[in-house]
Structure 1
Amino acid sequence: MRSFAASAFWRALLTALLALCVALPAFAGEDKKPAPARRGILLVAFGTSVPEAVTAIDSLKSQAEAAFPGVPVRLAYSSKIIRDKIAGGGVVKRSPAQALADMAAEGFTHVAVQSLHSIPGREYGDIKATAEAFQAMPKGIAHVSVGRPLLFLPEDIKTAAEAIHKSLPARKKGEAVLLMGHGTEHPANAAYAALQLELWKLDRDVFIATVESTPTLDDVIPALKRAGVRSVHLAPLMSVAGDHARNDMAGDEEDSWASKLKAKGFSPKADLTGLGSRPAVARLWIEHLKDAVKELDQ
């Protein structure tokens, strides 16, 4: 784990240096007086290529601005695949390193970086490493804190379960909810299992499956049958209802979750509402941001 963390840090440092080189002209002619303290916030979302899904990210940005009036709030996308994809349509989003380089060049001395991811997986680790790299550079940012993702501490998972459950649609007997998580090979995938246990304490008819890891849809279908479920409400366990939600979950293709469930005799109903658009859940990311801002004073 140490070698992996060290490797991530040095990769992030190199990326940060390259990004900062682009911003170097802004430092030309500066004097040697210490810069006055200037605070800023950087929100880092995975990103989305679905225009309709961007509203959830914009809403979170607006909530951050409302929570910290007068503090500039910037946005970055952590997924290079998403950034490259939307760039083809003329939409430009900065990477975390590029955004921090911009903020360093503009004279920000204290920056709270808030992850808008669900679990502390690889992307969150990369965000942490990038932030640490900028703080380590002489021309970087004096103090960078990183806000934890939605499912991080045990108490975060418990609180998130309560907020998610509160946001779910009213159901009749024989109806269940199946939440679609992204899934990862990273050990942080265990957060989904922890969340499932907390949700079951509140409601035995709420299930979690992932697109790219475990549990899979095939793992959950037998549990749905044992519960006597006839109708399944599908909803994304992600900040936005992006491509995975609209295609892998609710699409008409044969291999979508909706199609597979229908073939097994269930009646699927898709709810294209990302967690960032559910006020009770979105509020938790803002609470984590408040903790990150407090950390700037320590």
Structure 2
Amino acid sequence: MQYRFGDRFRILPALVLVLLLALPSFAFAGHGDAAPVKKGILLVAFGSSMPQAQASFDAIDKAVKKAFPDVPVRWAYSSAIIRHKLAKEGKLIDSPVSAMSKMMDEGFTHVAVQSLHTIPGEEYCGILETVEKFEGMPKGMTKVVVGKPLLYSNDDMQKTVAAVLSSIPKERTKKDAVVLMGHGTPHPANIYYPASQYYFSKADPNIIVGTVEGTPTLDDVKAMLKKRKVKKVYLMPYMSVAGDHARNDMAGDEPDSWKSELTKAGFKCVPVLKGTAEYPAVLDIWMDHLKVAYKHLGNN
């Protein structure tokens, strides 16, 4: 079969279209070379300098590697204070920037970054601003998707309430109160703590939410406990890890700890030193967010 000169110009656009459709399975590297898609996961926690907090991180790491057995997993801490403290002890932990830079150098083209924070506050917003800059960077990554923190949507709130309720010590009775200590923040996202109180109150009026550095405060917690006329209080972290805040500010023996303050106020306190990530039902919510983020990576 012979083609006239004009036929070549009709065939050429079709050939170009075929080539373009073949491109999505590759991420272009420099100098015209095409690098195959390489997916990875970056887990970003606030971090902790306390060895006891490692139980939460181990639980998360194990769950992620079980769900994504063939995907490389990296870690980073968003807190510079925690990283510097650990560095003095000889433990080097990447920041989100350094972790992403290393992954870029290793040839990762598609990365799901999962926030292990409780609320979409300052730390989460910092992750968004940082890691998304690596998408589309020259010789950078083709696609970066950030997974939501524990509490983000109305559905998250309801699931978290159910998960926390299922994780309360079995010996606790309905007459006993459960005080959940959250971190708190000056960021507008602090509203998630009063919102949590609303959802918990609907499920169990003796579940009370407080924060270390935001609102509701310990004074608010005391007032609610007195109003409910309870005698026994279970103290539980409303944070992914049972780190410094949980072990010192919440359950410590110092005069200004929550346990000491509430004991002086006449309540019998029972600290529960487990981070929320140590409870499978709560961890599943973070895992669901990661699965959604990873799915949205696609292949191009």
Aligned equivalents of 1:89, 1:178: Cα separation in 2: 33
- What is the one-letter code of the residue matched to 1:266? F
Between the two proteins, the alignment pairs up a number of residues equal to 270
Aligned equivalents of 2:114, 2:261: Cα separation in 1: 36
- What is the one-letter code of the residue matched to 1:88? K
Give the alignment of 1:146-225 within 5 angstroms. 146-170=146-170, 171-225=172-226
Counterpart residue number, 1:293: 294
Aligned equivalents of 1:213, 1:194: Cα separation in 2: 13
Give the alignment of 1:232-251 within 5 angstroms. 232-251=233-252
Aligned to 2:178, what secondary structure does the other structure show? Answer: strand
> TM-score scaled to structure 2, two decimals?
0.88
Deviations 1:204-252 (A, max 9, x none): 1100000001100101111111111101100100000000000000000
- What is the one-letter code of the residue matched to 2:228? A
Counterpart residue number, 1:106: 106
**Could you tell me how far 1:200 is from its partner in structure 2?**
1.2
Aligned to 2:42, what secondary structure does the other structure show? Answer: strand
**Could you tell me how far 1:172 is from its partner in structure 2?**
2.3
Counterpart residue number, 1:48: 48
Once superposed, what is the RMSD of the aligned Cα atoms?
Answer: 1.3
Q: Percent identity?
A: 52
Q: Which runs of 4+ in 1 moved over 2 A?
A: 29-32
Could you tell me which runs of 5 or more consecutive residues in structure 1 were left unpaired when the two chains were aligned: 1-28
Q: Report if the CA contact (8 A) 1:112-1:146 is conserved.
A: yes
Aligned to 1:124, what secondary structure does the other structure show? Answer: helix
> TM-score scaled to structure 1, two decimals?
0.88
Counterpart residue number, 1:21: none
Aligned to 1:145, what secondary structure does the other structure show? Answer: strand
Query: Are the structure 2 counterparts of residues 173 and 290 from structure 1 closer, same or farther at C-alpha, using a change threshold of 3 Å?
Result: closer
Q: Report if the CA contact (8 A) 1:174-1:228 is conserved.
A: no
Aligned equivalents of 2:164, 2:154: Cα separation in 1: 15
**Could you tell me how far 1:201 is from its partner in structure 2?**
1.4
Report which of the two structures shows the higher radius of gyration computed on alpha carbons.
Answer: 2
- What is the one-letter code of the residue matched to 1:56? S
Give the alignment of 1:30-69 within 5 angstroms. 31-69=31-69
**Could you tell me how far 1:174 is from its partner in structure 2?**
3.1
Could you tell me which runs of 5 or more consecutive residues in structure 2 were left unpaired when the two chains were aligned: 1-28
Aligned to 1:102, what secondary structure does the other structure show? Answer: helix
Aligned to 1:152, what secondary structure does the other structure show? Answer: coil
Aligned to 1:172, what secondary structure does the other structure show? Answer: coil
Range with bigger deviation, 30-39 or 163-172: 30-39
Counterpart residue number, 1:89: 89
Aligned to 1:35, what secondary structure does the other structure show? Answer: strand
